[in-house]
């Protein structure tokens, strides 16, 4: 399914970005957790869906996960980005970090993360990159490779075509679309049956009262 979605999106000149690469399998602690996985399990279970989409659809971009995999942050993992993604799979698109998901300057650039998101950069200020090159921790070739990936993506989405970006973004607010969205939402609901009074909230308790639903975000 991911392969087909990517092909459909990119057939319209829009970049598809696969995420989150890889092993972002839980929301609790996902920005700090270190996921420990054997090589075989990683390849056959967690990397496999990405591999199918990468080889069949050639997505233009991939976003790294917040979590670590076997001790390395995903945005700084040579094993994931250099050996597997660009080596074994032969992929040549752009790798971006998740928002605030860049965890290093030198390691991330050398591993293969092309773009730190969002801007302005927290790690990749020009002066820090220049200092790292001067110290021999980064090479100009590495920086050129990262920059070329960004330019290639801009070219793929038509950013250099004159007047391409001057269109006004609009949305269609049509009654038939609203009806479809409402129907899809209703059919996607799950009705809980209150057998043996297991649910704490009952119609009698809620009658005439205002209920606030409070949660993260």
Catalytic residue among 92, 98, 163, 204: 98
CA atoms of 191 and 194, how far apart (whole Å): 9
Contact present, 71 and 81 (Cβ < 8 Å) = no
Give the long-range contacts of residues 1-8, CB within 8 A, separation 24 or more. Answer: 2/49, 2/52, 2/53, 2/57, 3/52, 3/53, 3/56, 3/57, 4/57, 6/53, 6/57, 6/58, 6/59, 7/56, 7/57
Gyration radius (Cα) of the chain, Å: 22
Strands 68-69, 34-35: pairing kind: parallel
CA atoms of 83 and 182, how far apart (whole Å): 46
Q: How many residues does the chain have?
A: 217
Contact present, 22 and 45 (Cβ < 8 Å) = no
Q: Specify the DSSP element, H or E, that contains 150.
A: helix 140-156
CA atoms of 36 and 56, how far apart (whole Å): 28
Per the annotation, the verdict on 98 as an active-site residue is yes
Q: Catalytic residue positions?
A: 98
């Amino acid at each position: 399914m991911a392969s087909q979605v990517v092909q459909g999106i990119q057939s319209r000149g829009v970049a598809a970005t696969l995420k989150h690469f890889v092993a972002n399998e839980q929301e609790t602690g996902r920005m700090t957790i270190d996921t420990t996985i054997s090589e075989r399990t990683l390849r056959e279970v967690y990397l496999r869906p990405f591999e199918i989409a990468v080889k069949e659809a050639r997505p233009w971009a991939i976003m790294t996960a917040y979590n670590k995999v076997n001790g390395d942050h995903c945005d700084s993992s040579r094993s994931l980005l250099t050996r597997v993604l660009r080596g074994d799979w032969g992929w040549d698109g752009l790798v971006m970090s998740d928002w605030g998901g860049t965890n290093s300057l030198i390691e991330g650039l050398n591993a293969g993360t092309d773009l730190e998101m969002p801007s302005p950069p927290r790690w990749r200020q020009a002066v820090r990159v220049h200092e790292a090159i001067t110290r021999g921790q980064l090479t100009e070739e590495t920086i050129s490779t990262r920059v070329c990936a960004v330019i290639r993506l801009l070219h793929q989405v038509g950013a250099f075509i004159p007047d391409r970006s001057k269109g006004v973004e609009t949305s269609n607010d049509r009654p038939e679309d609203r009806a479809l969205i409402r129907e899809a939402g209703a059919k996607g609901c799950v009705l809980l049956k209150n057998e043996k009074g297991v649910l704490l909230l009952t119609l009698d308790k809620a009658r005439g009262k205002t209920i606030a639903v409070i949660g993260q975000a």
